[in-house]
Amino acid sequence: MSKKRNNPETIAIHGGDYRCDPATNAVAVPIYRTTSYQFNNTEHAANLFALKEFGNIYTRIMNPTNDVLEKRVAALEGGLACLTVSSGQTASTFAVLNVAQAGDNIVSSTDLYGGTVSLFTHTLSKLGVEIRYADPSNPENFEKLIDDKTRAFYGETLPNPYLRVFPIQEVSDIGRKYNIPLIMDNTAAPVICKPIEHGAAVVIHSLTKYIGGHGTAVAGSIVDSGNFDWTADPKRQPLFNEPDASYNNVIWGKAVPELTGANVPFAVRARVCLLRDLGSALAPDNAFAIIQGLETVALRMKQHCSNAEQVLNFLKKHKEVTKVIYSTEHNTQFADRAKKYLKGGNGPMIGIELKGGIEAGKKFIESLRMFYHVANIGDVRSLAIHPASTTHSQLNEKELAASGVTQSYVRLCIGIEHIDDIIEDLDQALNKSSKGNLKAVS
Ligand code: PLP
């Protein structure tokens, strides 16, 4: 693809090297429903396994449908390589396990999706990987938690429920002084933020959300920026500098640039070690579904964000609403970060707190007619949920407070329906929220 075509609208449709199916000339990306690929001869097979040649071996590790999606997502984020996996949760898990082993630690933002908090605090800690939490209001909090076992920093671009934009460049700059890569979860802000341009080394997505957009497939991705020197400090990144006994003692940080000509050991190691061993491959049918969504992501993000701005103005004036949480509605420091990192829109999500507190919040959700009451974000449809009793219900009081979920917080994901219909639905539900009690939302 021409280097000049660097616009997300075009990349989402044409990014990568797929023009048409080489066997049939089909323009739409075919679903390659195969587990295996015939080797040309024994030498070809041996070369593929030895990474002397790159090609298809087995669908747990690679698939041609997934490959098209991977190249497009890498191009959209401005990275060099991408790995797709079965879910966003797998993307977060692999991103951490690709740098950290038992005894190591990661310094993560406190502002995280609830499922990521559970993964980090409970499952990864049981595997011996410690997650240290830093409040991103001050980027220096990350520096204070580093020791010689710190392998990465981790943050979310536009984390809900706080909706405080993460200081990507500030934290990345600190990390680079210590050869620590920044992993960014950009799930809530594709197109409107490109974390790699601000120094992130790795960008993950739950493709289930805005990139897929239609709520029809669960998927995840991990993009390797190619901008991080994994060999600069061998003690800091042992998994990229010590011989890997599981793969003929290869040293990933050196071998991958030599074999591929590209500085993408992170993506290659995640594929040939973690996908090989842990599975969690993305089914090609789901890759196909995500490709359909990806084609319109730039258009949809514009509409999500412009609808959200109008909803914001409506909610700020509504008598039942006591607080509105939005990327630009914080103190100057966070509002300035929104200005610096978000381009072409300030995000699709809005939080609200209602005059009648938690009961009013529940009644409001149950009174919505067009909005869906679901756990998902990033659907074309408008969505609402009460996080404290659902998505964040497995967090304790301390974790809830750290992640910004109050008992009365209601999260709205503004869809791409007509703005008049969105506001009409919100208005009628808000007006009912303070009148009488309905049964509790489970
Ligand atoms: N990251 C963020 C920011 C999310 O919102 C989610 C899911 O809501 C995930 C990761 C996990 O993604 P998935 O549901 O695809 O596993």
Nearest alpha-carbon partner for 221 in 99, 351, 102, 67: 67
Calpha distance 114→117 (Å, rounded): 5
Q: Return the residue matching tokens 């933020």.
A: 193
Rg from Cα positions in the chain = 22
Please name the residues in contact with 258: beta carbons below 8 A apart, sequence gap of 6 or more: none
Cα separations (Å) of 48 from 12, 255, 259, 373?
A: 30, 15, 12, 47
Is 418 a residue whose pLDDT tops 60? yes
Tokens representing 114 are: 């609830």
Helices 297-317 and 419-433 pack at an angle, to 10 degrees, of 40
H or E stretch at 132: strand 130-134
Query: What atom in ligand 1 is closest to the CA of residue 376?
Result: 8
Averaged pLDDT, 202-217: 98
pLDDT digits (tens, 9 = 90+) for 296-355: 999 999 999 999 999 999 999 999 999 999 999 988 889 999 999 999 999 999 999 999
Q: What are the tens digits of pLDDT across the range 219-249?
A: 999 999 999 999 999 999 999 999 999 999 9
Question: Ligand 1: distance of its center to the CA of 114 in Å?
Answer: 9
**What pLDDT does residue 129 have?**
98
pLDDT in tens, 158-190: 998 889 999 999 999 999 999 999 999 999 999
- Indicate whether residue 156 lines ligand 1 (CB < 6 A): yes
Contact in structure between 320 and 367 (CB atoms under 8 Å): no
Q: What separation in Å is there between the alpha carbon of 105 and the centre of ligand 1?
A: 22
Q: If you measure from the C-alpha of residue 45 to the centroid of ligand 1, how many angstroms do you get, rounded to a whole number?
A: 36
β-pairing verdict for 202-206 and 150-156: unpaired
Say how many Å lie between the CA of residue 90 and the centre of ligand 1. Answer: 9
- In terms of C-beta distances under 8 Å and separation of at least 24 residues, what long-range contacts does 285-288 make, across chains too? 285/31, 285/33, 285/217, 286/86, 286/217, 286/218, 286/219, 287/31, 287/63, 287/65, 287/66, 287/68, 287/69, 287/84, 287/219, 288/29, 288/31, 288/65
* Averaged pLDDT for residues 34-42: 97
As a whole number, mean pLDDT of residues 271-287 equals: 98
Q: How many CB atoms lie within 10 A of CB 82?
A: 28
Best mutation site among 206, 207, 394, 405 for ligand 1 pocket (most ligand atoms within 8 Å of CB)? 206
- Evaluate if residue 391 carries a pLDDT over 70: yes
Mean pLDDT, range 429-435, rounded to an integer = 92
pLDDT at 222: 99
Would you state the pLDDT for residue 354? Answer: 93
| Percent of the chain whose predicted confidence (pLDDT) is above 90 | 87
Check pocket membership of 286 for ligand 1, CB cut-off 6 A: no
**317 CB-contact burial (10 Å; exposed 0-12 / middle 13-18 / buried 19+):** exposed
Q: What is the mean pLDDT of residues 106-127?
A: 94
Confidence of residue 202 (pLDDT cuts 50, 70, 90): very high
Please name which of 140, 129, 141, 136 lies closest in space to residue 105, comparing C-alpha atoms: 129
Ligand 1 centroid, distance to 208 Cα (angstroms): 7
- Inform me whether the pLDDT recorded for 437 exceeds 90: no
Q: CA of 311: how far to CAs of 77, 187, 366, 387, in Å?
A: 28, 21, 19, 20
Given a contact cutoff of 8 angstroms between Cβ atoms, the answer to whether 328 and 369 are in contact is no
Q: What is the pLDDT of residue 436?
A: 59
User: Which residue has the CA at smallest separation from atom 11 of ligand 1?
Assistant: 88
What's the mean pLDDT in 275-304?
A: 98
Give all domains of the chain, ordered by start, each with its CATH number: 8-294 (3.40.640.10), 298-433 (3.90.1150.10)
Whole-number average pLDDT of the chain: 94
Q: Could you read off the pLDDT of 39-70 as tens digits, one per residue?
A: 999 999 999 999 999 999 999 999 999 999 99
User: What pLDDT is attached to residue 4?
Assistant: 62
Q: Average pLDDT for residues 8-21, to the nearest whole number? A: 96
Residue 441's pLDDT is what? 40
